[in-house]
Amino acid sequence: MSTLVKRQKGRLSNQLRSIEAQLGLLNKADGSAKYKQGDSSVLAAVYGPSEVLPKDEKGDRASVQVVFKRRDGKPGRREKQNENIIRNALEPIIMTHLYPRTAIMIIVQVLVDDGSILSVALNACVLALMDAGVPISTVISSISCSIVVDENGSQTLLTDPDLSEERTSIGETYFVFDGHVVAKTGEGGLVSSVTSGLLTDSAYTSCLTASRSGSKSVYTFIRETLKRKPTTVMAPIENIIFERDEASSATNGSDFKMEDEKEESKTFSNVFMKPI
Interacting residue ranges for another protein, rule: CB under 8 A:
23-24, 30-31, 50-51, 95, 102, 130-139, 179-180, 183-184, 220, 223-224, 226-227, 229-233, 240, 242, 247-261
C-beta closer to another protein: residue 39 or 261: 261
C-beta of 20: minimal distance to another protein in Å? 17
C-beta closer to another protein: residue 11 or 216: 216
C-beta closer to another protein: residue 47 or 175: 47
C-beta closer to another protein: residue 102 or 146: 102
Distance separating alpha carbons of residues 189 and 54, to the nearest angstrom: 35
C-beta of 135: minimal distance to another protein in Å? 4
C-beta of 182: minimal distance to another protein in Å? 10
Q: Using an 8 Å Cβ cutoff, are 225 and 127 in contact?
A: yes
C-beta of 85: minimal distance to another protein in Å? 21
C-beta closer to another protein: residue 123 or 156: 123
C-beta of 130: minimal distance to another protein in Å? 5
C-beta closer to another protein: residue 7 or 180: 180
C-beta of 255: minimal distance to another protein in Å? 6
DSSP-derived secondary structure for the chain: --S---BGGGB-TTPPPPEEEEE---SSSSEEEEEEETTEEEEEEEEEEE---GGG--SSSPEEEEEEE-SSS---HHHHHHHHHHHHHHTTTB-GGGSTT-EEEEEEEEEE--S-HHHHHHHHHHHHHHHTT--BSS-EEEEEEEEEE-TTS-EEEEES--HHHHHH-SEEEEEEEEHHHHHHHSS--EEEEEEEE---HHHHHHHHHHHHHHHHHHHHHHHHHHHS-TT------GGG-PPP-TTT-SS-S-----GGGHHHHHHS--------
Please give the C-alpha separations between residue 24 and each of 109, 122, 132, 159, 242, in angstroms, as whole numbers. Answer: 15, 17, 8, 29, 23
C-beta closer to another protein: residue 156 or 228: 228
Report cis status (omega within 30 of 0) of the bond before 49: yes
